[in-house]
Structure formats: C-alpha cells, structure tokens
Amino acid sequence: MSNSIQSVITFLEETNDPRVAYFSYSVDDTGDYGAIRANKEGLRLYAMELLKKSMEMERRQDSFPLAFSPSEWMVSDAGYDLIAYVQPQYGSRDVILSGVVDKLTS
C-alpha cells in the first residue's frame, strides 16, 4: 500500500506546479461554515500533503502532531492558519469516538 501511495505522491509532485497552485481556508458569507478556496493545482498539492502525513503516521506510530510546512501556494484568507497540523489518531472511527483511545494514552 505504501508504494502505491508514494507513487501517487510522486505523480502529484511531478504534475502540479506550486507556482500556479492556490489553496486557502476560508468561511462562507455567513461565517457558519468552513470553506476551501482552491484551484485544481492547489487541491492536488494539498491532497499530496495529506498523503505524506498518512505515510508519516504509518512510520512513526506516535501521538506527536505532524505539522504542515509553510508553502507559498497555501494562503490563509481567514487571517490565520485554520489547519496547522495533523493530530494522529490510531484507531477505528468507533474507537476514537468512544474515547477509549484517549483514555489509554492519558
């Protein structure tokens, strides 16, 4: 599986130019909902960053946050970074939502 993900990451790196990419977090006009404003290159590069974080989680198997590196193509229209890092969770959705994982790591 990791080789397949690495192949996708490599493809995304080779086929999307960060100089034209745009990705931003924002909110809708009401301020009630988060929104992503992006061109296709920005969406693809953000997807690539998420895939990289998933591979890092697989390698590390710890609970330390995985920070996103600043990128020129990632812009904050909200005035601050809404998502600065990934907080790893190692369990199924049901286990995570039940809080069992939190109790085990506390």
pLDDT of residue 28: 81
* Residues with Cβ within 8 Å of residue 95, at least 6 apart in sequence: 101
pTM equals 0.81
Q: Phi/psi class of residue 11: alpha, beta or left (left: φ > 0; alpha: ψ in -120 to 50)?
A: alpha
Number of domains within the chain: 1
Range of the domain at 12: 2-105
Is residue 3 within a helix (H) or strand (E), and if so which, with residue range? helix 2-15
Q: What is the pLDDT along the chain (106 residues), one digit of tens a residue?
A: 688 999 999 999 999 999 999 999 887 888 888 889 999 999 999 999 999 999 999 999 898 999 988 888 988 777 666 688 999 999 899 988 998 655 555 4
**pLDDT attached to residue 81:** 67
Distance in angstroms (rounded) separating the CA atoms of residues 45 and 73:
9
Per-residue pLDDT at 101: 52
